[in-house]
């Protein structure tokens, strides 16, 4: 198999108090790595095992898709955060958010509302769709990777992403994510790619 779970780009305690080391331990070690273990079991001895993770996601369904997409979505989520992140972006990202949302405050409101609007488990995303920034939410393991949209940022709104730190207050988690965790440098790199 050509893919493995990438190491976290920071220590497990680096995002505290917004995301505790305990949350990262469970979320990364049990959930994220668990999806990879399940995926490898499903693909063992099959030709798909030699494809890239992205190819597997784009050409699979059912359990294979769910586990592969969860591996990709989680890696994308981790890379979109950093210690002492959040706040307002600058440069091209700031220009994009101003053009398509009316500024960072309106983007923040739309992103939080997108996450709150996702009934049950899934993700809220900032994507570039036909040259325009927009907010989408996806159920379960669904991902913009299977569409023409370009993913720029995501927040995991499965309960395991926030329950230990914020209990059932998804809104508090999304507010803290926007204000204290977003890695705008990563968003800028994704926008340029």
Domain 91-192: CATH superfamily is Iron/manganese superoxide dismutase, C-terminal domain (3.55.40.20)
Residue 150 confidence (pLDDT): 98
Residue 1: what pLDDT? 67
pLDDT (0 to 100) of residue 10: 98
* Residue 3 pLDDT: 83
- List residues bridging with 65 in a β-sheet: none
- What is the pLDDT at residue 130? 97
* pTM exceeds 0.75, yes or no: yes
CATH architecture, domain 21-79: Orthogonal Bundle (1.10)
**Domain coordinates in residue numbering, the chain:** 21-79, 91-192
Q: How far is CA 185 from CA 23, 53, 154, in A?
A: 24, 24, 14
Burial tier of 134 (Cβ tally within 10 Å: 0-12, 13-18, 19+): middle
pLDDT at 74 (0 to 100): 98
Each residue's pLDDT, cut to its tens digit, for the chain (193 residues) gives 678 999 999 999 999 999 999 999 999 999 999 999 999 999 999 999 999 999 999 999 999 999 999 999 999 999 999 999 999 999 999 999 999 999 999 999 999 999 999 999 999 999 999 999 999 999 999 999 999 999 999 999 999 999 999 999 999 999 999 999 999 999 999 999 9
pLDDT of residue 2: 77
């Amino acid at each position: 198999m050509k893919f493995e779970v990438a190491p976290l780009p920071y220590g497990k305690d680096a995002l505290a108090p917004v995301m505790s080391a305990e949350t990262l331990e469970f979320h990364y070690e049990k959930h994220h790595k668990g999806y990879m273990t399940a995926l490898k079991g499903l693909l063992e001895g099959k030709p798909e095992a030699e494809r890239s993770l992205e190819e597997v996601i784009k050409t699979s369904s059912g359990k294979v898709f769910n586990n592969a997409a969860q591996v990709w979505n989680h890696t994308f989520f981790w890379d979109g955060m950093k210690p002492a992140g959040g706040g307002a972006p600058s440069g091209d990202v700031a220009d994009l958010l101003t053009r398509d949302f009316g500024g960072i405050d309106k983007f923040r409101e739309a992103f939080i509302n997108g996450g709150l609007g996702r009934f049950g488990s899934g993700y809220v995303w900032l994507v570039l769709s036909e040259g325009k920034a927009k907010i989408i939410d996806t159920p379960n393991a669904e991902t913009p990777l299977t569409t023409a949209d370009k993913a720029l940022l995501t927040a995991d709104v499965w309960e395991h992403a926030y329950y230990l730190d914020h209990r059932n207050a998804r809104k508090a988690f999304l507010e803290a994510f926007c204000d204290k965790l977003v890695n705008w440098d990563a968003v800028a790199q994704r926008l340029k790619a």
